[in-house]
Amino acid sequence: MKNYLRKLIYFYLFIHFNFTAFSQIDSEKDQQFFEKLYNFQFSDADSLLATIDSIQEPSHFNFLKAHYMRWCYLPIHQQNEKILKKYNRYLEATDYQDDEKEDNYHYVNSALLRAEFNYNQGNYYKSFQNGAKVYDVVKDHLESKPQQDEVKFLASLYHYYYQYYKTENPVFGTLMWFFKEGDKEKGLLWLEEVAQGNSILATEALVYLSHIYLRLENQPHKALGFALQLLQKHPNNLKFHELVIESHIATNNEKESVLSLIQKLESSEKTYFKKYGVCYNAIYMTKFNETSKDEKEFKLEEALKFIQNNGGGNHLSSLLYNSLYELTENDLYLKEKIEIEAYKYSLTGYLEKDLN
């Protein structure tokens, strides 16, 4: 039982590290590859990948190929069996050994990607095992500020999520004596320092900062600043559009540019992004357009039906239920929202936290 609980917490502490996936950049070519990948220029990224010798550098090639598939087929865990098997083969073929872990952070990234994949496939034991590998690397870099951005990035996330789960889940809080203490403020400070750097890790840090301040810390004004930096760096990344749009709506910021981003999501050929676009469009129109109450309710209900008829999604549905409740004051909508809400923040009806 004790080992099970330990592995359970390993997972919760580290699975969040895969919002974009941690990576160490070894060369200018790798840097270019990730820049293209983050900007949804998949053809260009694939061309760069083709210049890497998969025979001479198998682990390196398979590592980058796994990242390519993870971004190209968002969300990867919802793809068909053929794609999932192919993705898993690349993950397994990265083959970074345990004795490389102290100076090879591809080892860490590979473990994180495997933890995420196995969790989404229901292979919880394998997921826990990979999460434990990450803790073994990061635990000795939590007190003094790490010099390497790669280490600082991992340590910052550990510090933040340790305190987040300890605070948000009292049950976990009583069990976390297995682990070194985390410091949320230190974690956010280190994460901002990484975001101000020049490496590709700056992008990953910005994603976390946008997500954390928007959905976990409920400080959408601060989240918006980080999200706009992401948009400037990678204007074609539809996943980053989500953070920009939600931050704008959460701060009651009506802008034509936001509608343009929503339309890009709605016009996407991928149902995953289209669902976000339909949801955001309904919420934006309800919030800022001067149409009748009945028209707004109809718009929100139609968006909810679209989400439910295309694979569902608790996060998007909770936003729509909250908008319906605010519009109609019907407690049934509130009940539905509370049952499925993934985050307690501005867009699900919670007051923005005071920054003072």
Is residue 170 domain-shared with residue 194, that is, in the same domain?
yes
Last residue of a domain, one of 159, 182, 217: 217
Is residue 81 domain-shared with residue 209, that is, in the same domain?
yes
Q: Check residue 102 and give its pLDDT.
A: 46
Name the residue among 311, 212, 111 with its Cα closest to residue 119. Answer: 111
Is residue 76 domain-shared with residue 24, that is, in the same domain?
yes
Q: In angstroms, rounded to a whole number, what is the distance separating the alpha carbons of residues 13 and 157?
A: 9
Q: In angstroms, rounded to a whole number, what is the distance separating the alpha carbons of residues 156 and 152?
A: 6
Query: Does 98 fall in a domain?
Result: yes
Three-state SS at 102? coil
Q: Which domain holds residue 293?
A: 226-348
Q: What angle do CA 296, 302, 307 make, to 5 degrees?
A: 130
Q: In angstroms, rounded to a whole number, what is the distance separating the alpha carbons of residues 200 and 184?
A: 23
Distance from the Cα of residue 216 to its chain's centroid: 12
Q: Check residue 22 and give its pLDDT.
A: 46
Q: Check residue 194 and give its pLDDT.
A: 94
Question: What domain count does the chain have?
Answer: 2
Q: In angstroms, rounded to a whole number, what is the distance separating the alpha carbons of residues 9 and 165?
A: 9
Report whether 126 contacts 118 (CB < 8 A): yes
Helix segments in 15-93, DSSP class H: 28-38, 42-49, 58-72, 81-92
Is residue 82 domain-shared with residue 141, that is, in the same domain?
yes
Q: Label residue 156 exposed, middle or buried (CB < 10 Å: 0-12, 13-18, 19+).
A: buried
Is residue 57 domain-shared with residue 158, that is, in the same domain?
yes
Query: Does 236 fall in a domain?
Result: yes
Q: In angstroms, rounded to a whole number, what is the distance separating the alpha carbons of residues 329 and 352?
A: 20
Q: In angstroms, rounded to a whole number, what is the distance separating the alpha carbons of residues 174 and 212?
A: 23
Last residue of a domain, one of 160, 184, 217: 217
Is residue 212 domain-shared with residue 80, that is, in the same domain?
yes
Is residue 195 domain-shared with residue 164, that is, in the same domain?
yes
Query: Does 354 fall in a domain?
Result: no
The parts of the chain modelled with pLDDT lower than 50 are 1-24, 98-103, 355-356
Last residue of a domain, one of 217, 240, 271: 217
Is residue 93 domain-shared with residue 234, that is, in the same domain?
no
Is residue 168 domain-shared with residue 258, that is, in the same domain?
no
Query: Does 355 fall in a domain?
Result: no
Is residue 199 domain-shared with residue 77, that is, in the same domain?
yes
Angular region, 252: left φ>0, alpha ψ -120 to 50, beta rest: left
Query: Does 18 fall in a domain?
Result: yes
Is residue 191 domain-shared with residue 230, that is, in the same domain?
no
Q: What angle do CA 298, 302, 303 make, to 5 degrees?
A: 120
Report whether 296 contacts 286 (CB < 8 A): yes
Query: Does 356 fall in a domain?
Result: no
Q: In angstroms, rounded to a whole number, what is the distance separating the alpha carbons of residues 281 and 224?
A: 18
